[in-house]
Amino acid sequence: MSNLIVHLKNVKIFQAKNLILEKVNLKISKGEFTYLIGKTGSGKSSLLKTLYAALPLTEGEGKVGEFNLKSLNRKTIPLLRRQLGIVFQDFNLLSDRNVEENLKFVLKATGWKDAADIHKRVTEVLEQVDLKTKARKFPHELSGGEQQRVVIARALLNRPDIILADEPTGNLDPETADDILLLLRKLAQQNDTAVLFATHDYRILENFPARIIRCLNGKVVSEEELEL
């Protein structure tokens, strides 16, 4: 069993018919924490959308876990997404349900049936993000940082191989942003889950160094390549 969770080879990424990124070669291993950086409009979100199959892969080769991105269909896309945790800048929590019900909703939607198993898993992920005491709170009763922790808990529910985080600290103040970043790094280590963390907050990169890949001039380059 390979340790590679993401493997893209000579990939071209399109939005409609517009070429956004080309010659994309990317490898991400189990448990690896990687920053994805680049200016707004440089293709970061398009790359993430390709990985969770919101954009189809038409040119090049790509695998996420055991899934070949080129041969996905309506049946296999939901199975791929169960292996991914996705964390957006906008929390997208269900405002009419409390934290626990938000999480239970996702488990039921992804095929969990047993009430005891569902309750146990919700408790586990809330513990991992230090929100065990907030299970009965509604999203509007939580701070921005707490809401993002709920989103991370939601991303962890199905024990993903990789978490794709698209500007997850974009709406948060610097101190809260640091807390969220450190939480994701800790979870990557504890759960052996890869994290691809898209950001344009260079303060974070300086304070918490890790591997960096960059969307630049229509390509995806690693910092190692830039230094050569």
For the cut 80, the answer to whether the pLDDT of residue 23 exceeds it is yes
Q: Structural domain tally of the chain? A: 1
Q: Is the dihedral of CA 74, 78, 84, 89 positive or negative?
A: positive
Please give the pLDDT value at position 6: 95
What per-residue confidence (pLDDT) applies to 224?
Answer: 61
Which residue reads 């291993």 in tokens?
A: 29
Order of strands, sheet of 67-68, starting from the edge strand that comes earlier in the sequence: 18-29, 4-15, 59-64, 67-68
Residue type, 190: Q
Q: Given CA atoms 64, 216, 198, 77 in this order, what sign does their dihedral have? A: negative
Residue 99 located in a structural domain: yes
pLDDT at site 1: 46
Residue 150 lies in a domain: yes
Distance (Å, whole) CA 64 – CA 67: 5
What's the pTM? 0.91
Amino acid, res. 147? Q
- Cα distance between residue 31 and residue 28, in whole Å: 9
Q: Give the span between the Cα atoms of 97 and 8, in whole angstroms.
A: 38
The pLDDT-based confidence of 225 (bands split at 50, 70, 90) is low
In a domain, residue 71? The reply is: no
Residue 69 counted as domain residue: no
Which residue, 189, 128, 196, 134, is CA-closest to 156?
Answer: 128
Q: Binning pLDDT at 50, 70 and 90, where does residue 178 land?
A: very high
pLDDT at residue 2 tops 90: no
Token pair, residue 223, equals 């910092």
The span from the CA of 165 to the CA of 87, in Å, is 5
23 φ, ψ (degrees, to nearest 5)? 50, 45
pLDDT band at 210 (very low <50, low <70, confident <90, very high): very high
Domain that holds residue 96: 32-56+78-227
Residue 61 lies in a domain: no
Whether 18 has a pLDDT exceeding 50, the answer reads: yes
93 close to 130: Cβ distance less than 8 angstroms: no
pLDDT category at 41 given cuts 50, 70, 90 is confident
Closest CA to 184 of 215, 214, 162: 162
Q: What is the mean pLDDT of residues 201-217?
A: 91
CATH number at residue 186: 3.40.50.300
Residue 11 located in a structural domain: no
**What is the rounded average pLDDT of the residues 13-22?**
92
Q: How far is residue 45's CA from residue 21's CA, in Å, rounded to a whole number?
A: 11
90 assigned to some structural domain: yes
